[in-house]
A = this chain, B = another copy of it.
Amino acid sequence: MSNSIEIPFSTTLLVRDTCLCLHVQRAARALARLFDDALRPAGLTNGQFSLMMSLNRPEPPPMGPVAALLAMDQTTLTAALKPLQRKGWVEVMENPKDRRRRLLRLTAEGKAVLAKALPIWEATHAAIDAALPDGDATRLRQDLQALSGMSGEMPKPSVRRSPHRERAMGE
């Protein structure tokens, strides 16, 4: 009876040391905790901060582009909006031009919360930025961006329809 379905320990060490997915998940958890801690006095988590900040635009955006910007599933965005709506920080409105769409808008109170959180973000971000070797931050962002874009480039079924990628946030 082959007990030979054994992965050698050396392989485990290789995976531990090289897996980019593991490295990114670890950093994601650590940074999330760091920002969550820092932002707690403002009443926000890191994800809520990023989401609300992405809603701070001249024109209230629909959900699709916001989910794409945050690289999250659309159903995740629906769920993430719930607590923010309950707290009265975000408004979800119908778009009369297309009644399937929802328009997401920060309330005045939401903007105030975000304004209170901004200096905390600045200080926290400056601290982690300083902890990286000089010049690494920029390239790190580029690499992370490349990784974020990989979901679309990796053909999953043998045939792949063009994803119709909408612009997330114009500048």
Task: Give A residues with C-beta under 8 Å from B.
Answer: 3, 5-7, 9, 11-13, 15-35, 37, 46-47, 50, 53-54, 56-58, 69-72, 108, 111-112, 114-115, 118, 121, 125, 127-129, 131-133, 136-137, 139-141, 143-151, 153-154, 156, 169, 171
Contact = CB atoms under 8 A, between A and B. Distances in A.
A128 to B, nearest CB: 6
A30 B148 contact: yes
A171 B13 contact: yes
Contacts of A149: 30
Given A16-B69, A33-B151, A114 B7 contact: yes
B20 A31 contact: yes
